Chain A
């Protein structure tokens, strides 16, 4: 499932975070710029989509659910 795949990617990237409960990952600075880039390149590779800079807003990456929606949107568009 898409959600689990994304969760796995996040767990590998930041094993210290519990993705089910984390909110405001961007707003609170929990994910730094390197984390964001690592995550997005992984997502781009894994799902063959093209998330670009314009998508790097808190609304798209603050929670696991937001990430899922982001990927789904790009899967439809690209």
Chain B
């Protein structure tokens, strides 16, 4: 179900109404029913994968809890040495359970994402195999991570396991998150899900405004620009001027942000209307001053998931510690101790790349991003020296603006991998940007031939301006709060305007194409 469909609106309206008519103790059960309905409507045939995930992780949690209990019982009254040995044994068994469940879930995800690619690779290498690939169930990349995070937390003893499979299922399949996240943590989400919620006008209104905001971004900006992004950046032939490709990458930045953050807005807004607070996933990312900062402000929950469950364990693991000691010996203490961090960073970015897409091109993208971050860490002392020499104060507005523009531009270039038809095409586009820029091409009408009309650019442009204004206003605190302080009339008017703007300027439906109306054609 698309967030921007009437179907979803009707579905959510029903869920919301019944939710607040039910007694508190039934509310979470109704949400669970809503989860299943949402999933069945969206992805019935593949719902089995979701069930498998819920079942294995829930059972894994119980197994870990059982092992913990046993360990506590059997180490009573033992001396310190014996306790340590016994505990180590149980830790090994716990590790086994964790590893098994994670292997099943991530293994399934990996196969789904990469089976097709592996087989096509084998085909290219001459093996006489057909291409076999699995269809991916809705939200698999997100719910797998959310459930896995829970299990790892239980393993680490952060909170007790959830005994009730239905309650766990509610957490693992919360429907607003099923399309594109965010990836929530159990200790942040679960209690809210099971609590009683009374309708709160403020939360209902704020949530609704958030939903409208997301719909506006998606329809007026993202869906407007999508045809151009597809036709230009995903084209099998690369024959436009570099300047056109650069413009396309910039427009893609806006399209991607509007689309992704718009969807997240709908998710968070829906949850808010249900009285549930879901973590933010974006924090004005285009205002970042470095690539590293950007990745802490874009798709925040994915970044923090990788940090807590991959980067930290990897960087603090025994092999990395050994590597660090080795490097200290080779490169000296100053650099040596950084090597494990760089290695862990590259490792995490490789995995991030693999998560994003099912092709080698995404791995390359991940490594490039990681590489840029590592490189900027390495070169930081030289940057500082250069800045001092040139007399640039790092607090100056000009410098900060430069950093923002530089970061934005760099990331636009890195995003070339997202849409490119092949890896070769991605490099071809980059090549053209640097060797065949031809700025004149921007003004000769090429940009109007790629699926977006002048009118379309106008409306998308307006949308981007509105988004920019809202982002700037956000620096002074919640925009909805600022509006609320000015009275209910303004709050209502904002809702009305967003809805009407989406209605009138959105890119949706069959559309009216003047050329299509050939009244007497046959």
Contact = CB atoms under 8 A, between A and B. Distances in A.
A28 to B, nearest CB: 14
Interface of A: 32-34, 36-38, 40-42, 44-45, 51-54, 56
Q: B-side binding surface: helix, strand, loop or mixed?
A: helix
Interface string B137-163: 000000000000000000011100000
Contacts of A40: 316
Contact of B315 (A32, A37, A42): A37
Given A41-B316, A41-B324, A53-B316, A34 B377 contact: yes
B307 interface: yes
Interface string B456-495: 0000000000000000000000000000000000000000
22 contacts: A32-B292, A32-B296, A34-B341, A36-B312, A37-B311, A37-B312, A37-B315, A37-B344, A38-B337, A40-B316, A41-B315, A41-B321, A41-B324, A41-B337, A42-B337, A44-B316, A45-B337, A52-B316, A53-B156, A54-B156, A54-B157, A56-B308
A54 B156 CA distance: 6
B338 A53 contact: no
Contacts of B312: 33, 36-37, 53, 56
Most buried by B among A36, A53, A56: A53
A37 B325 contact: no
Given A41-B316, A44-B321, A53-B313, A33 B156 contact: no
B157 A33 contact: no
Contacts of A34: 341, 345, 377
A56 B309 CA distance: 12
Interface of B: 156-158, 292, 296, 307-308, 311-313, 315-316, 320-321, 324-325, 337-338, 340-341, 344-345, 377
Contacts of A42: 337
A41 B341 CA distance: 10
Nearest to A55: B316
A38 B341 contact: yes
Nearest to A37: B315
Contacts of B341: 34, 37-38
Contact of B307 (A33, A52, A54): A33
Nearest to A42: B337
A53 B149 CA distance: 13
Nearest to A12: B334
Contacts of A32: 292, 296
A33 B307 CA distance: 8
Contacts of B340: 37, 41
A36 B229 CA distance: 39
B415 to A, nearest CB: 23
Contacts of A41: 315-316, 320-321, 324, 337, 340
A75 to B, nearest CB: 15
A41 to B, nearest CB: 6
B187 to A, nearest CB: 12
A40 B344 CA distance: 14
